[in-house]
């Protein structure tokens, strides 16, 4: 079903019915037009109500049709809108819940709109790098005023109908009713009244004014420029609202909206945002674990270790209202962990992001303990102790002995073998990796590491749990570093080689930051603590002596230059400041180091810097796909954008490689392989890349 037609005596009712949110699919558009024709041809019908079944009035374009011919098949939404505006009988939009994107644009074309109080109203197209392309930028300013409308269009935020109804002079909502349940009856009564009154007012005929239009538009442009940095869509939204204010006719403004919409559709930035939107949805789907897989009940969580990660992990569950027991070995460490959690919440209260009463509620849900006996009833235990296998072994043996059967035992390890950790228990099917990122209460990414024996219901429970705590979960297989950290190893190695060959840390960082990364690798190292990578490297050098690294990072750490926390790392830091100042000591160390290696430094271009680092990610990413550590290239993109600061407008490393062209990527790798100071073996293009190239495909084709 897409939309159905019914009559209540003299009122025609067209109900969009395309679950889950009445997306405006081809079939729905067709049915809306058919319904309008039926109503107009029926002499008994005096007015037409358009409404939605189920959870929404309409959530806008049907995402199932994205990228298919159905999306652009006529009739378009603009045809439906034109038909409504041409109707000789009043058309009333009856909105009971969600009116977003095209759904709101449809309502704006109607002669009247009746809303229930708690509807979510938004034009969220900007989140996909687009703008509302069916008149939203021209009609919304006419009913809400240019400032409120532009704010909604440029941010995509959703506002409640009851709040919009308060705006003085607003013309979006002709009538507000208390509840969704009474909407239908009220809409019929309202429609009858309007039919009797006569008159077919259209939003397009309303004036669009601002007392100080030029100054306001200039102000908006400046604001948006600062906010949107690498994304063209917000600026184009401003252009369209400016057109609504300045054009001689409504249709002239519509023309400008169309031109900008078509332009944005073809930008790589919009392509990247759309790719990420679909990739995030796809990441939650696991081929052999359907969504219908039964889930275990998670009502009580326990966290082992109250350090940097344990505290943040606990906060995620406390925020979701789930009781958490947190365990440490020593009272002092427990107190420290609790104080940090409390401090983080207090900071949120000070910033006005959290109510004092909610702080209290959350802290009351937290139970500190030094005894494993208090973990007996936990449904999910997440271990976040030191990254050492023998310590993890002791913890898991203990958990196996005390925790109730059926509980899920998760490890937050960043690099260690989850299968080995599972083998410390007699229930490896209940063991899984839950790799959070620091700060764990802020970062969106969760790598869910699937052990060789992890049960399907454990996996599906953990994926659901991730949703509950608002994380983006991506499933990874077991290997050293899983998806993200296995790839970052190659990225870091390249960064090290670049220093050996002639770059400074700030030159590398600036090149990556210009590409769009929030932070280059060296500033990132200083922030995270260079000692963390050092510890991992020491283990890896033992396990894989054939892997060659630049030793500059080790030299830095041997002198205690761990980064911001020691006020010195790749950069110098003034007391109390996070500003990175290039360090003369580091530069001297690099000069000496190159001399020892017999390397004559050369000038390295930003292009080479960026591509060596990015294609290192791509080549390792491709090997990760070959090894089935990630099931789709899009999962890798989600990991990098949500966990590693990869620029959103680039869509992730694998999409970047597709857009750069795999042929060009391979050529660049072959060139890098010839560099005597680099790792020729590593730069052999992954088999998968060569196969894709040969078959005329790219990573996106195998998602």
Active-site residues, by number, are 105, 125
Of 133 and 305, which has the nearer Cβ to ligand NAD? 305
CA distance 341 to 335: 10
- Rounded CA separation 695/703 (Å): 15
Residues 225-244 that bind ligand NAD (CB under 6 A): none
Q: Which of 282, 333, 648, 702 binds ligand NAD (CB under 6 A)?
A: 333
Cα 308 to chain centroid, rounded: 23
Cα distance between residue 453 and residue 224, in whole Å: 50
Beta carbon of residue 353, minimum distance to ligand NAD (angstroms, whole number)? 23
Count the Cβ atoms, other than its own, within 10 Å of residue 546: 6
In sequence order, the 6+-apart residues with CB closer than 8 A to the CB of 476 are 433, 435, 447, 448, 449, 450, 482, 483, 629, 630, 635, 639
Residue 236's CB: how many other CB atoms inside 10 A?
26
The least distance separating ligand NAD from the CB of residue 392, rounded to whole angstroms, comes to: 7
Interaction with ligand NAD in 459-518: which residues (CB under 6 A)?
A: none
Least Cβ distance, residue 525 to ligand NAD (angstroms) = 12
> Which stretch, 101-109, 359-367, 409-417, 629-637, contacts ligand NAD (CB under 6 A)?
409-417
Q: How many residues bind ligand NAD (CB under 6 A)?
A: 25
The answer to the question of residue 382 lying near ligand NAD (CB under 6 A) is no
> Which phi and psi angles does 132 have, rounded to 5°?
-60, 120
Per the structure block, which two tokens stand in for 568?
């010195």
Question: Is residue 307 near ligand NAD by the rule CB under 6 A?
Answer: yes
Nearest-approach distance from CB 308 to ligand NAD, in angstroms:
4
Structure tokens at 182: 């009474």
Separation in Å, CA 652 to CA 553, 614, 689:
26, 10, 16
Q: Tell me if 309 contacts ligand NAD by CB under 6 A.
A: yes
Query: 281 vs 394, which CB is nearer to ligand NAD?
Result: 394
Stretch of 269-277, 302-310, 463-471, 557-565 lying at the interface with ligand NAD (CB under 6 A): 302-310
Which region, judged by CB under 6 A, interacts with ligand NAD, from 112-120, 141-149, 266-274, 379-387? 379-387
Cβ pair 190, 175 in contact under 8 A:
yes
Note whether 320 binds ligand NAD by CB under 6 A. no
Question: Whose Cβ is closer to ligand NAD: residue 437's or residue 656's?
Answer: 437
Per the CB < 8 A criterion, the answer to whether 534 and 553 are in contact is: yes
Beta strands in 232-290 (DSSP E): none
Residue 364, CA distances (Å) to 324, 357, 445 in order: 10, 11, 27
Residue among 385 and 473 whose Cβ is closer to ligand NAD:
385
For residue 642, state whether it binds ligand NAD (rule: CB under 6 A): no
Q: How far is the CB of 546 from ligand NAD (least distance, A)?
A: 24
Kindly state whether residue 348 participates in binding ligand NAD, applying the rule CB under 6 A.
no
**Using CB under 6 A, which of 77, 306, 407, 431 touches ligand NAD?**
306
Minimum gap (Å) between residue 439 Cβ and ligand NAD: 8
DSSP label of 91: E
Q: Which of 155, 158, 293, 308 binds ligand NAD (CB under 6 A)?
A: 308
Alpha helix (H) residue ranges in 205-249: 213-228, 233-246
Residue 571 DSSP SS3 = strand
Q: Is residue 395 involved in binding ligand NAD (CB under 6 A)?
A: yes
- CB under 6 A: which stretch of 70-78, 99-107, 250-258, 301-309 binds ligand NAD? 301-309
Looking at the Cβ atoms of 269 and 447, the one nearer to ligand NAD is 447
Which strand (E) or helix (H) includes residue 122?
Answer: strand 120-122
* Token couple for 155: 């941010």
Task: Give the per-residue SS3 of 266-280.
Answer: CCHHHHHHHHHHHHH
**658, 700 Cβ separation under 8 angstroms:** yes
Dmax over CA atoms of the chain, in Å, equals: 94
For 448-493, the three-class secondary structure string (H helix, E strand, C coil) is EECCCCCCHHHHHHHHHHHHHCCCEEEEECCCCCCCHHHHHHHHHH
CA distance 227 to 621: 31
Q: What is the nearest approach in angstroms of ligand NAD to the Cβ of residue 511?
A: 25
**β 98-100/120-122 pair status:** parallel
Quote the tokens at residue 396. 């898991």
Residue 412 binds ligand NAD (CB under 6 A): yes
Residue closest to ligand NAD, measured at CB: 307
Q: Which of 148, 329, 519, 527 binds ligand NAD (CB under 6 A)?
A: 329
Is 316 a binder of ligand NAD (CB under 6 A)?
A: no
Question: Considering only 127-135, 216-224, 380-388, 541-549, which stretch makes contact with ligand NAD by CB under 6 A?
Answer: 380-388
- Among 264, 327, 625, 688, the residue binding ligand NAD under the rule CB under 6 A is 327
* Residue among 57, 36, 60, 62 at smallest CA distance from 48: 36
Q: Which of 83, 366, 384, 474 binds ligand NAD (CB under 6 A)?
A: 384
Q: Which of 172, 298, 304, 622 binds ligand NAD (CB under 6 A)?
A: 304
C-beta of 551: minimal distance to ligand NAD in Å? 23
DSSP annotation of 691 reads H
Which of 2, 25, 325, 413 is close enough to bind ligand NAD by CB under 6 A?
413
Nearer to ligand NAD, 252 or 387 (CB): 387
**Stretch binding ligand NAD (CB under 6 A), from 74-82, 98-106, 328-336, 672-680:** 328-336
Between 228 and 395, name the residue whose CB sits nearer to ligand NAD: 395
**Which region among 127-135, 412-420, 577-585, 679-687 touches ligand NAD (by CB under 6 A)?**
412-420
Residue found by looking up tokens 């023309």 in the block = 255
Residue whose CB is less far from ligand NAD, 415 or 453: 415
Mapped onto helix, strand or coil, the DSSP state of residue 50 is strand
Q: Which of 328, 501, 509, 526 binds ligand NAD (CB under 6 A)?
A: 328
Work out whether strand 301-304 and strand 380-383 pair parallel, antiparallel, or are unpaired.
parallel
Question: What would the two tokens of residue 365 be?
Answer: 């849900």
Q: Give the three-class secondary structure for 298.
A: coil
Element at 47 (helix H, strand E): strand 47-52
- Helix, strand or coil, per DSSP, at residue 595: helix
Residue number, 413 or 504, with CB nearest to ligand NAD: 413
Scanning 4-12, 264-272, 299-307, 621-629 for contacts with ligand NAD by CB under 6 A, the matching segment is 299-307
564 in contact with ligand NAD (CB under 6 A): no
Map the footprint of ligand NAD across residues 421-450, applying CB under 6 A: 436-438
Q: How far apart are CA 400 and CA 11, in angstroms?
A: 66
Which residues of this chain interact with ligand NAD, rule CB under 6 A? 304-310, 327-329, 333, 384-387, 391, 394-395, 412-414, 436-438, 528
């Amino acid at each position: 079903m897409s939309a159905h037609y019914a009559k209540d005596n003299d009122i025609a009712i067209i109900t969009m019915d395309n679950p889950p949110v009445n997306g405006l699919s081809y079939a729905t558009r067709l049915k809306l037009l058919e319904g309008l024709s039926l109503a107009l041809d029926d002499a008994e019908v005096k007015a037409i109500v358009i409404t939605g079944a189920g959870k929404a009035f309409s959530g806008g374009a049907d995402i199932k049709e994205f990228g298919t011919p159905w999306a652009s098949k006529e009739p378009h939404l603009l045809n439906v809108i034109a038909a409504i505006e041409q109707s000789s009988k009043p058309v009333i939009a009856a909105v009971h819940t969600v009116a977003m994107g095209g759904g709101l644009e449809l309502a704006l074309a109607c002669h009247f709109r009746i809303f229930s109080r708690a509807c979510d109203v938004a034009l969220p197209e900007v989140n996909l790098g687009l703008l509302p392309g069916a008149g939203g930028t021209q009609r919304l300013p006419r009913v809400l005023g240019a400032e409120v409308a532009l704010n909604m269009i440029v941010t995509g935020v959703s506002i409640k109908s009851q709040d919009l109804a308060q705006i003085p002079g607003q013309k979006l909502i002709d009538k507000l009713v208390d509840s969704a349940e009474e909407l239908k009856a009220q809409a019929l009564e309202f429609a009858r009244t309007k039919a009797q009154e006569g008159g077919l007012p259209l939003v397009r005929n309303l004036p669009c004014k601002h007392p100080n239009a030029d100054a306001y538009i200039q102000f908006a442009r400046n604001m948006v420029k600062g906010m949107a940095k690498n994304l063209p869509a917000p600026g184009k939204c401003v252009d369209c609202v400016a057109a609504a204010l300045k054009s001689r006719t409504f249709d002239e403004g519509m023309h400008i909206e169309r031109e900008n919409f078509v332009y944005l559709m073809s930008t790589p930035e919009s392509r990247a945002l759309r790719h990420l939107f679909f990739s995030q949805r796809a990441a939650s789907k696991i081929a052999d674990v359907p969504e219908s897989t039964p889930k275990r009940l998670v009502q009580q969580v326990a966290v082992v270790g109250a350090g940097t990660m344990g505290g943040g992990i606990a906060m995620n569950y406390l925020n979701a209202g789930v009781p958490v027991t947190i365990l440490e070995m020593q009272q002092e460490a427990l107190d420290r962990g609790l104080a940090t959690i409390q401090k983080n919440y207090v900071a949120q209260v000070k910033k006005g992001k959290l109510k004092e009463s909610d702080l209290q509620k959350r802290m009351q849900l937290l139970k500190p303990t030094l005894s494993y006996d208090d973990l007996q009833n936990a449904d999910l235990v997440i271990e976040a102790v030191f990254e050492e296998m023998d310590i993890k072994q002791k913890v898991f043996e203990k958990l196996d002995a005390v925790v109730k059967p059926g509980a899920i035992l998760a490890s937050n390890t960043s690099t260690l073998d989850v299968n080995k950790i599972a083998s410390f228990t007699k229930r490896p099917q209940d063991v899984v990796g839950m790799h959070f990122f620091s700060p764990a209460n802020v970062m969106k990414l969760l790598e869910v590491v699937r052990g060789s024996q992890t049960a399907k219901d454990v996996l599906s429970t953990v994926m659901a749990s991730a949703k509950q705590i608002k994380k983006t979960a991506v499933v990874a297989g077991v290997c050293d570093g899983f998806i993200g950290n296995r790839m970052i190893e190659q990225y870091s190695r390249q960064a090290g080689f670049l220093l050996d060959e002639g770059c400074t840390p700030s030159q590398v960082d600036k090149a990556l930051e210009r590409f769009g990364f929030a932070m280059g690798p060296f500033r990132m190292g200083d922030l995270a603590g260079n000692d963390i990578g050092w510890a991992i490297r020491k283990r890896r050098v033992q396990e894989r002596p054939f892997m060659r690294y630049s030793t500059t990072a080790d030299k830095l750490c041997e002198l205690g230059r761990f980064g911001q926390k020691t006020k010195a790392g790749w950069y110098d830091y003034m007391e109390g400041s996070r500003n990175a100042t290039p360090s003369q000591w580091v530069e001297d160390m690099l000069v000496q180091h190159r001399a020892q290696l017999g390397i004559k430094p050369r000038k390295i271009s930003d292009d080479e810097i960026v591509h060596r680092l990015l294609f290192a990610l791509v080549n390792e990413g491709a090997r990760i796909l070959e090894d089935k550590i990630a099931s789709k290239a899009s999962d890798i993109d989600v990991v990098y954008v949500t966990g590693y600061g990869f620029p959103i407008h680039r869509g992730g490393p694998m999409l970047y490689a597709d857009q750069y062209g795999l042929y060009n990527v391979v050529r660049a790798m072959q060139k890098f392989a010839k560099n005597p100071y680099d790792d020729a073996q590593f730069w052999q293009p992954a088999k998968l890349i060569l196969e894709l190239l040969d078959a005329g495909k790219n990573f996106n084709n195998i998602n």
